Structure 1
Amino acid sequence: MSAEKAVDLQFVAPHVLQIRMQDRVSKNTFSEGITEGLMEAFAEVERQPDCKVVILTGYDNYFASGGTQEQLMNLSDGRGAFTDRALYSLPLQCPVPVISAMQGHGIGGGFVLGMFADLVVLGRENIYTTNFMRYGFTPGMGATFILPQKLGLALATEMMLSANNYRGEELQQRGIPFPVVPRDKVMAHALELAQTLAEKPRVSLVALKDHLSASLREALPATIAQEVAMHAVTFAQPEVKSKIATLFGA
């Protein structure tokens, strides 16, 4: 993929493919370029028999920023659902291990996307937030499923109910089970980890990932259905549309 595209795919080490989200115009919200680019990139990973590990990362201070204002307004008008394209679960469904190198801010669905990876590296200075309730609607994108799995129920519940911002350093102090390093070291840490995985046979990596993620893949659809049902209720509130219109990007 060319550097001009919103998502760039390239080998950064033997057997290690990097998927880089770089839509500077949208600040890595789930624009059409990001959405199509991610789906194409993960499809290409499956066509690359030499790929053993994927690193998913962003650009500068942004990892991924979640839904666009237009997408959220459409949901508030009852048009479509986040399930129309299952962007959130691409790392989970990928046959080889995926490392989220979250070198920048992870916001809303963008943070959730990173949590669906097999391994995660966070930056100390960055902001991570599940800010759905800031606008008054309940979390989607599988957040209510994957966050308790990866962060623990107590912290995940607090993050989703409060919609507060958390620096990586604060999450580290709260005991999250991921490495948290200076943001300019995130990619190097992820690459070192990827190269360790890439020493293993691809067949074995694929078999082990399939086994470890099987229970997650099986349980996810029921939670997604529940999130969609909550959206039908919570997005319909007039104050939600007002908050999306006035607070988005503030």
Structure 2
Amino acid sequence: MPEALVRREARGRAGLITLNRPKQLNALNDAVMDQLGAALLALEEDAGIGAIVIAGGTKAFAAGADIDVMADWSFMDVYQTNFITRNWETIRQIRKPVIAAVSGYAMGGGCELALACDIVIAAGSARFALPEIKLAMLPGAGGTQRLPRAIGKAKAMDMCLSARMLDAAEADRYGLVSRVVPDAELLDHALTLASQIAAFSLPALMAIKESINRAWESPLSEGILFERRALYERFASDDAHEGMHAFLEKRTPTFHHR
């Protein structure tokens, strides 16, 4: 059996999914995302579940993508395998409300995973960043599309172009998160909220979610397509490979702007 990188359980009408790669700070690779997608779909199909919580660990919700896996991929590696599209898009299929319970670092893909959820509850220790520029890459799991919609163009440009990290209070002020709670109360708060939401009519919840997403994401499909192609093109860049290898070797990258 594959390693349980994601744990799934029911807490009354609330479904709880916990990312389970603590040594890697819940870095998101294909195996994690496949298991996350399977857990989400299972809870979507469970008639006893009305809302879903996705949680990480105390140190990190999810510390970005697994760079070690992708450092030597080529453009065709990602293009032919539908990198990101084949497993990240599962969360967009989920019609039940999904709540992210974020403690510690939500970096890169971790921040994008939180952005893909319907409600984001942040602990005081939560930190949000899209640092892909440091690797000569770009946020490619919806970051360049969802972040401006959440916090506005100016602040999204700042985060994406400078790799600026937001603390929980800033993220709350900017509108990236729904509310901030003490660290010790994060999971209880998220599950209480999920239970409260799940107690309402599921068809109504689904209709509300669909309606808000229609208003918020009307042009998103074209943006995602453009972003995905731009991400794939990064794998044809010498600088991107240099950035990733420098990260793995714990040295400062030398970019040649190609």
Q: TM-score of the superposition, structure 1-length normalised?
A: 0.88
Query: More deviation in 177-186 or 137-146?
Result: 177-186
CA distance in 1, matches of 2:66, 2:59: 18
1:1-250 equivalent positions in 2, closer than 5 A: 5-12=4-11, 14-76=12-74, 78-81=76-79, 82-87=83-88, 89-174=89-174, 176=176, 178-216=178-216, 219-248=219-248
Q: Deviations over 1:19-58 (max 9, x none)?
A: 1111224321123431221111011012201111000111
CA contact (8 A) 2:75 2:233 kept: no
CA distance in 1, matches of 2:210, 2:248: 38
Q: For the aligned residues, what is the CA RMSD?
A: 2.5
CA distance in 1, matches of 2:36, 2:90: 8
SS in 2 for 1:79: helix
Cα deviation, residue 151, structure 1: 2.0
The verdict on how the C-alpha distance between 1:175 and 1:84 changes in structure 2, with shifts beyond 3 A counting, is: closer
CA contact (8 A) 1:66 1:110 kept: yes
What is the letter of the counterpart of residue 245 of structure 1?
H
The verdict on how the C-alpha distance between 1:227 and 1:248 changes in structure 2, with shifts beyond 3 A counting, is: farther
Cα deviation, residue 59, structure 1: 1.9
Q: TM-score of the superposition, structure 2-length normalised?
A: 0.85
The verdict on how the C-alpha distance between 1:249 and 1:209 changes in structure 2, with shifts beyond 3 A counting, is: farther
CA distance in 2, matches of 1:249, 1:214: 43
The verdict on how the C-alpha distance between 1:217 and 1:152 changes in structure 2, with shifts beyond 3 A counting, is: closer
CA contact (8 A) 1:53 1:194 kept: yes
CA contact (8 A) 1:104 1:183 kept: no
Query: More deviation in 24-33 or 75-84?
Result: 75-84
SS in 2 for 1:140: coil
CA contact (8 A) 1:136 1:243 kept: yes
- Determine what percentage of the aligned residue pairs are the same residue: 24
CA distance in 1, matches of 2:174, 2:210: 30
The verdict on how the C-alpha distance between 1:108 and 1:248 changes in structure 2, with shifts beyond 3 A counting, is: farther
CA contact (8 A) 1:135 1:240 kept: yes
The verdict on how the C-alpha distance between 1:216 and 1:248 changes in structure 2, with shifts beyond 3 A counting, is: farther
Structure 2 unpaired stretches of 5+: 251-258
Query: Which residue of 1 is the match for residue 256 of structure 2?
Result: none
Q: Deviations over 1:115-154 (max 9, x none)?
A: 1111111122232110111111222111111111122222
Cα deviation, residue 208, structure 1: 1.6
The verdict on how the C-alpha distance between 1:178 and 1:34 changes in structure 2, with shifts beyond 3 A counting, is: same
- Size of the aligned set, in residue pairs, is 247
CA distance in 2, matches of 1:94, 1:109: 19
SS in 1 for 2:24: coil
Structure 1 consecutive aligned stretches of length 4 or more whose deviation exceeds 6 Å: none
SS in 2 for 1:180: strand
